[in-house]
A and B are shown apart, each in its own frame.
Chain A
Amino acid sequence: MTLAVFIVLAVIAIASGVAVFVVDSMARATFALAASFVAVGGELILLTLDYLGVVTILMMVMEMAIMVVFMVMFMMNPAGLMPMSMLHNTRGALTIAAGTFLLLGAAAVLVPWPARRGTVPADPTRAIGEAIMGPQMPVMVGISALLFATIVSALVLAVPHGRYDQPAHDSGETDR
């Protein structure tokens, strides 16, 4: 049963992953990627990682909803109504990709993975909660600092100079 669910989700994840680079429409590509992430979230739930699986779905769908705005804003042909190719060096990329898959796949199958140590905790969510609030606290502190730095630098990069200079004449709302 779980094997069947695994296979279905895996097929969805891979098929929509391929679809990202096959479909013409940027909107479709973005939401194909979102579907791939949702399927991977499902795989995590299969591995008893309920919390991380659901969080993956949450984060990635949100991210893709924002992403699609950028796609539509910057791309020449977001709806894919006009046939045009946005690829370069397809053959080389395909070769490298196939090589990567063969290499990683061979490693996955051939490496003698060590035996399992320990058992899955009764509540993995509690386990990770206690870990990040206990011994792994520095990691989370580091991540939060990184996220904050990201917010600041992304704003600095993306926003034209003087965006937050309040206009002289009014409170900066849309009145004129």
Chain B
Amino acid sequence: MTLQLFLLLAAALFAIGVFGALSQQSVVMVMMGLELMVNAVIVAAAAFWYFLAPAAPDGQVLLLVVISAMTVEMAMGFAVATLLFRASDVDMTDMAAELKR
């Protein structure tokens, strides 16, 4: 196990997340892309903590913050999706963009 391996894993997960977030039409699926990107951040942060500065707890605290951020993102995402859906029966990003006009 080396830092590089973990970072490669994180890079792969992040790239998949980017693909999802850019290519999906549905708001909920875009959120899943974002989740995968956060997932990659978790891996990278844990690896940095373990391989670079294990003595300081800051890395672990950062992880906690990331996990909380993920739940916040999720809750707000659901709320916005519900709002959009209620407003105009839409769950697609393209259609939501059209709403603005």
Residue in B4, B29, B35, B50 whose beta carbon sits within 8 Å of that of A47 in the complex: B50
A154 pairs with B13, CB closer than 8 A: no
A40 at the interface (CB under 8 A from B): yes
* Minimum Cβ distance to chain A for residue B80 (Å): 6
Are B24's CB and A86's CB within 8 A? Answer: yes
In the bound assembly, the distance between CA atoms of A160 and B79 in angstroms comes to: 11
- B13 partner, pick from A14, A56, A74, beta carbons under 8 A: A14
Q: Which residues of B contact A130 (CB under 8 A)?
A: 57
Chain A positions within 8 Å of B12 at CB level:
14, 17, 101, 105
Chain A residues whose CB sits within 8 angstroms of the CB of B100 once the complex forms = none
Do residues B58 and A136 form an inter-chain contact, with CB atoms below 8 A?
Answer: yes
Q: Which residues of A contact B65 (CB under 8 A)?
A: 139, 143
Decide: A75 near B91, CB < 8 A? Known: A21-B16, A104-B14: yes
Cross-chain contact B56 with A40 (CB below 8 angstroms): no
Q: Give the residues in chain A near B23, CB-CB below 8 Å.
A: 21, 87-90, 93-94
| A-B interface, 4 closest residue pairs, ranked by CB to CB distance from nearest | A118-B55, A108-B7, A131-B57, A101-B15
Q: Could you show 21 A-B contacts with beta carbons less than 8 Å apart? A: A13-B13, A17-B36, A29-B29, A29-B32, A33-B35, A47-B49, A49-B50, A52-B60, A70-B78, A87-B25, A93-B19, A97-B22, A105-B12, A109-B4, A109-B8, A146-B68, A150-B71, A150-B76, A154-B76, A154-B78, A157-B83
Further contacts, 12 of them, CB under 8 A, given A20-B16, A113-B52: A6-B5, A36-B13, A43-B9, A49-B60, A63-B71, A74-B27, A87-B23, A104-B14, A139-B61, A143-B64, A150-B75, A157-B82
